[in-house]
Amino acid sequence: MVQEFLETGRVFLPPTAVLATALVLLAFLPQVCGLALDNVPSARRKRSGWPCLAYKAPACRP
């Protein structure tokens, strides 16, 4: 279909072009969702951090 469009500048089967576009979009949807869901735990870990680092260290006594 792409070769046909490049040669003639026309698409003779528009429903096929729409179907191909929809399939490509549906193929990327799970990848985008996977990336978003993969970043949730790491962002939560970064946000919580190490709560113990908020306290000052005790002073050293020689």
Instruction: Dump pLDDT digits (tens) for 13-37.
Output: 888 888 989 999 999 999 999 988 8
Dist CA 15 CA 10 (whole Å)? 13
What tokens were used for 3?
A: 């070769």
More reliable by pLDDT, 32 or 43: 32
Dist CA 23 CA 36 (whole Å)? 21
